[in-house]
């Protein structure tokens, strides 16, 4: 088997979920040559390629596609690129992380290659058998892929954590080569144009791979009250999350949403304040190691998944926590 990992990079380094995709690819079989594909333009791409070459010992080759067409993560040119590289090198598997990047591009590329992709894989047992959650994680579905090559997957990064020693290994540096784009068909690519990205500037860790996540629900009642949670997060070195209800009430921007349709997180510690625990939310955080819930309603479903629950008023509990927690070192 040979695997192409479609990697996302930012500021000169490969994003953590894409390294998890390599970790997942490793599980496809013993004899697996893993190639990482990066696209973009300019110097940050070259930097990211160097990072890719040493980000995981299992990566044996890095392919770089340097063109203005890939300056932004648009699905149209990227899917064509995957198609082109796949036609040329005939990989048995194509893997990407289930990030908004992977979810946007991989199914489109699969359609171009006329295969059925398998999205949101959480477990891999062999080269063609996978497990993925369905019905918001209320059931697990075992899928056997019987289609033609390539077998295309997106994987949940939280299910394939990268161990520090495998990630830091510098012993194995992969070769870097450029993708020949002379046959790249630019038709239909100008049909989508990147305008801008609006995001919140924050020094807190990224929600997707934070060790601690502090989440607020509608129980926080206002955007102002969310500031309390942000203070708590700062003290704990945690990321801030929110339920869909809190996002829809405009307390916080959408990128903080945890749940079936938001981000899937699995931190060491998950603190939920004023979160009732709708199945759509639980779907996004049930794999957290330790779940702590504070809610006024003793019957709130969040308590069914919580390791520690406190029936109480978050407007009393959070200030008390803020007072008693030591300052962040």
Partner 1 sequence: MKIMVTLKRVVDYAVKIRVKSDKSGVETHNVKMSMNPFCEIALEEAVRIKEAGLASEVVAVSVGPQQCVDTLRTGLAMGADRGIHVEATGALYPLTIAKILKKLVELENPGLLILGKQAIDDDCNQTGQMVAGLLGWPQGTFASKVLLDKDKQEVTVDREVDGGLETLCLDLPAVITHPRDDKREKQASG
Positions that interact with partner 1 (CB under 8 A)? 74-76, 79, 99-101, 103-112, 114-117, 119-120, 132-136, 138-139, 141, 187-188, 190-200, 208, 217-219, 243-245, 248, 253-255, 259-261, 263, 274-278, 280-281, 295, 300, 302
The string of DSSP codes covering 290-307 is EEEEEES-TT-THHHH-S
- In this structure, the number of other CB atoms found within 10 A of the CB of residue 65 comes to 23
Query: CB–CB of 5/70 below 8 Å?
Result: no
User: Min. distance of Cβ 33 from partner 1 in angstroms?
Assistant: 27
Q: State the alpha helices, DSSP H only, in 212-252.
A: 223-236, 244-248
The length of the chain is 329
Q: Extract the tokens encoding 175.
A: 């070769």
Give the strand order in the sheet containing 239-242: 239-242, 212-216, 269-273, 290-295, 308-311
C-alpha to C-alpha distance for 100 and 27, rounded to whole angstroms: 23
User: Min. distance of Cβ 79 from partner 1 in angstroms?
Assistant: 6
User: Min. distance of Cβ 292 from partner 1 in angstroms?
Assistant: 15
Nearer to partner 1 by Cβ, of 180 and 206: the residue is 206
User: Min. distance of Cβ 94 from partner 1 in angstroms?
Assistant: 14
Could you say which DSSP state residue 327 is in? P
Nearer to partner 1 by Cβ, of 138 and 172: the residue is 138
User: Min. distance of Cβ 240 from partner 1 in angstroms?
Assistant: 14
Nearer to partner 1 by Cβ, of 28 and 153: the residue is 153
Nearer to partner 1 by Cβ, of 201 and 224: the residue is 201
Nearer to partner 1 by Cβ, of 61 and 226: the residue is 226
Spell out the residues 6+ positions from residue 90 whose beta carbon is closer than 8 angstroms to its own. Answer: 2, 149, 150
């Amino acid at each position: 088997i040979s695997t192409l990992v479609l990697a996302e990079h930012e500021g000169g380094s490969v994003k953590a979920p894409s390294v998890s995709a390599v970790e997942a690819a490793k599980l496809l079989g013993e004899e697996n040559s893993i190639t990482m594909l990066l696209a973009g333009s300019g110097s940050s791409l070259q930097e990211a390629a160097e990072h890719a070459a040493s980000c995981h010992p299992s990566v044996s080759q890095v392919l770089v596609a340097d063109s203005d067409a890939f300056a932004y993560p648009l699905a149209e040119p990227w899917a064509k690129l995957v198609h082109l590289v796949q036609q040329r090198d005939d990989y048995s598997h194509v893997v990407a992380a289930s990030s908004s990047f992977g979810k946007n591009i991989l199914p489109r590329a699969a359609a171009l290659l006329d295969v059925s992709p398998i999205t949101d894989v959480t477990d891999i047992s062999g080269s063609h058998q996978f497990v993925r959650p369905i019905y918001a994680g209320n059931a697990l579905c075992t899928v056997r892929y019987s289609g033609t090559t390539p077998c295309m997957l997106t994987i949940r990064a939280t299910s394939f954590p990268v161990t520090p020693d495998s990630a830091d290994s510098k012993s194995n540096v992969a070769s870097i080569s450029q993708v020949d784009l002379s046959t790249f068909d630019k038709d239909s690519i100008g049909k989508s144009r990147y305008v801008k990205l609006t995001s919140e500037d924050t020094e807190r860790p990224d929600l997707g791979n934070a060790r601690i996540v502090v989440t607020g629900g509608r129980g926080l009642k206002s955007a102002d009250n969310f500031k309390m949670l942000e203070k708590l997060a700062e003290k704990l070195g945690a990321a801030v999350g929110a339920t869909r209800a809190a996002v829809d009430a405009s307390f916080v921007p959408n990128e903080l949403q945890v749940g079936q349709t938001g981000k899937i997180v699995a931190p060491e510690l998950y603190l939920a304040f004023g979160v009732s625990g709708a199945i759509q939310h639980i779907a996004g955080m049930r794999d957290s190691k330790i779940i702590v819930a504070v809610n006024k309603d003793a019957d709130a479903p969040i308590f069914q998944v919580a390791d520690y629950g406190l029936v109480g008023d978050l407007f009393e509990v959070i200030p008390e926590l803020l007072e008693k927690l030591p300052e962040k070192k």
